[in-house]
Amino acid sequence: MWKKPEPDEPQSLRSPSYPPPPTIVPANPSSGPAHSAEAHGECALIGQSLYVKGDLRGAEDLRIEGTVEGKIELPQNNVLVGKKGRVKADIYGRVISIEGEVQGNLEAEEQLILRQSSTTRGNIWAARVILEDGANFKGSIDMTPREKVVSETAAVVPESNSKGSEG
């Protein structure tokens, strides 16, 4: 027979309690408007029947299930191209995850994920890249940190100018 547990009764005699579901936390959380949008569950959706042509910019996460042509700039937010999503655009985001089709360059601040169902044509710049088994990808991958690329380029330019002025 079931009895109501007493406040001083050991936990082992009480009915089981289940832990709350896990919370997904980004690898490198930072403050800012993008993270307050995530905390409130704000995510823009481009549904299957929608076709967007032009540039997209904003401060919230984006899920694409429809068709987009142009440029997507959400460098502080997550961008997900769903299984039915079709994108012909360059995408800039914090974390980019592709499940559908993308033709364009992808630049992720933190991570880029190409899921098994994805078809991607374009170049990738990201610190971390995950290509799942079965992902269809054609392009190049650059995992050099952006700060290093900029400093190396700046260091090379003065040397070439000084050689040109000597000779």
pLDDT tens across 119-164, in order?
Answer: 999 999 999 999 999 999 999 999 987 665 455 555 555 554 544 5
pLDDT for residue 127: 94
> Has residue 52 got a pLDDT over 60?
yes
Give pLDDT tens digits for 92-111: 999 999 999 999 999 999 99
Torsion of CA 52, 53, 59, 61, to 10 degrees: 40
pLDDT for residue 81: 97
Give pLDDT tens digits for 10-50: 555 554 454 444 444 444 444 333 343 344 467 899 999 99
pLDDT for residue 5: 58
**Coil, helix or strand for 134?**
coil
Q: Round to whole Å and give the CA distance between 71 and 122.
A: 13
pLDDT for residue 22: 42
pLDDT for residue 35: 40
pLDDT for residue 42: 76
Q: pTM of this prediction?
A: 0.65
Structure tokens at 59: 């401060």
Closest CA to 117 of 103, 93, 97, 138: 97
Report which DSSP code applies to 89: E
pLDDT for residue 145: 73
pLDDT for residue 46: 96
pLDDT for residue 158: 53
